[in-house]
Amino acid sequence: MPPDTPFKTIIEPFRIKTVEPIRFTTRAQREQALADAGHNLFLVKAEDVLIDLLTDSGTGAMSSAQWSGMMQGDESYAGARSFYRLEKSVRDITGFKHVIPTHQGRAAERILFSSMVNKGDTVPNNTHFDTTRAHVEHRGAVALDLPVPEGRQPRLVLPFKGNMDVAALERTLTERKGRVPLVMVTVTNNSGGGQPVSLENLRAVRATCKRHGVPLFLDACRFAENAWFIHQREPGQAGRSPREIALDMFSLADGCTMSAKKDGMANIGGFLAVNDEALAARAKNELILTEGFPTYGGLAGYDLEAIAVGLHEALEPDYLRYRIRSIEYLGGVLDAAGVPHMKPTGGHALYLDASEFLPHIPPAEFPAWTLSLALYLEGGVRSVEIGSVMFGRQPDGSEKPAAMELVRLAFPRRVYTQSHVDYLGEVILRVHGMRERIRGLRMTEAPEVLRHFTARFEPAHGSLLA
Ligand SMILES: Cc1ncc(COP(=O)(O)O)c(C=O)c1O
């Protein structure tokens, strides 16, 4: 509940000035859309989707302050006023000295790793996001995930399941002495269910890195959501603002990569921010090769303005309270009906546990993918599978079931209201009610890599529903 109010309803902390209609379709139309798309939601047209929870990245609504900032965008090639606005915002929020804009998060990763990581190195992270892993591996290095073991148990309710395993980090830094150029911590831990990392854990990671003389970087995409969880859950932090907590988080690191498409509240953009002068100089040289001059980094001046404003808005307590609560609220609706999902609900998404939801569908018939199709067919809701389609194919071409069969419902920022969430709850409950009739899939064609984007499927038993 917001402080200073006797009311318990947490309302959207905004009113709507511009609206974008969403299109209702019939079940028959959705059935056709699925058939046309080879039963792959990535291949369904966005206008055939009613509630789009495919990702929270770049899909948010901007504020009137961001739009008015954009009108003041300075499009000068070098030394644009908009860059200095962004630089000030990032410095105010993170405390880092050097700010290097990029077109999105993965460009910041590429530049950081090109500047620091060599063949044969190891980069530990609580859990690498897939582009982060790909960039580390592209350098010929090992991307090592070191989450706390509790982070891999979907049903366990703990406040900081995104934490890094500090003992495992200590072992890695000892065993791989001289071959670990940096340690990363992802806040919140996206691939680990959007779970937060505590300040206490960050401090312990920092101390371990310091003892071994290894720099620490944050993958800061969802830094504001992480700060809110710390404010809510970490002993002694309730009286501190998300802004103060975020500054503490950043003060424990030597730099960060950022996708401004998340807690930058923008539709595109990112940055790399670092303290080390020599590293900043190397990174800027890399930047010029692929992204552009260091005062625009592949972005328009108006994008820089949108991020400069958005970073501050992401730290507003009223906004964060509404955002985190929307997802928790859906979790409550599902709990009341016994629908299995990962707990506690994360900062940007709710993850349905398809292995338990559809226990009669074997991994070879892709239960999580099937569940995501059922949500679309019944209610026009688009989600994303994180299961055996995404991770099942092994480098030697064989198939191995993924560790978990999850359906991620990622919430775009400031886009949907409580009635959308109520509707979503109804759709999930309806699909849960018909779960025994849902049948699995067969993959009919797939590319060698990143197959989830373009693979095609057909029902393995004639139709999706018995
Ligand atoms: C934790 C994390 N790191 C990095 C990225 C990459 O950011 P971008 O999509 O802007 O390249 C993402 C995007 O989803 C992410 O969630």
**What is the tens place of the pLDDT at every residue in 168-180?**
999 999 999 999 9
Residue 2 has pLDDT above 80, yes or no: no
Average pLDDT over residues 106-121: 96
Give the distance (Å) from ligand 1 centre to CA of residue 210: 27
Q: At which residue do the structure tokens 């930047």 appear?
A: 287
- Choice from 259, 408, 450 to test ligand 1 binding pocket (greatest atom count within 8 A of CB): 259
Beta sheet of 98-102, edge-to-edge order: 98-102, 270-274, 255-259, 216-219, 183-186, 122-125, 142-145
Q: What is the number of the ligand 1 atom nearest to the C-alpha of 222?
A: 1
Ligand 1: centre distance to CA 218 (Å): 12
Q: For residue 270, give the ligand 1 atom closest to its CA.
A: 10
Q: What is the pLDDT of residue 190?
A: 84
pLDDT in tens, 255-269: 999 999 999 999 999
Give the mean model confidence (pLDDT) for residues 61-76.
Answer: 97
pLDDT value, residue 192: 78
- Residue 297: closest CA among 261, 272, 265, 279: 272
Query: Tell me, what's the pLDDT at 5?
Result: 82
Task: Check residue 448 and give its pLDDT.
Answer: 82
pLDDT of 356 above 80: yes
Q: Give pLDDT tens digits for 15-47.
A: 999 999 999 999 999 999 999 999 999 999 999
User: Is pLDDT of 246 > 60?
Assistant: yes
- What percent of the chain stands above pLDDT 70? 99
**CA dihedral sign of residues 273, 276, 282, 285:** positive
Output the residue whose Cα is nearest ligand 1's atom 3.
Answer: 129
Mean pLDDT in residue range 285-289: 94
Nearest CA to ligand 1 atom 7: 105
Whether residue 449 is predicted with pLDDT greater than 80 in this model: the reply is: no
Kindly state the average pLDDT of the residues 66-83.
Answer: 97
CA distance linking residue 210 with residue 183, whole number of Å? 11
What is the Cα gyration radius of the chain? 22
Q: How high is the pLDDT of residue 130?
A: 83
Residue minimizing CA distance to atom 2 of ligand 1: 129
Q: Phi-psi region for residue 177, left (φ > 0), alpha (ψ -120 to 50) or beta? A: beta
Q: 445 forms bridges with which residues in the sheet? A: 456
pLDDT band at 110 (very low <50, low <70, confident <90, very high): very high
Q: What is the pLDDT of residue 62?
A: 98
Vertex 121: Cα angle to 120 and 126 (nearest 5): 135
Q: Which residues line ligand 1 (CB under 6 A)?
A: 57, 104-106, 129, 131-132, 186, 190, 219, 221, 259, 261, 270
Q: What pTM does this model have?
A: 0.95
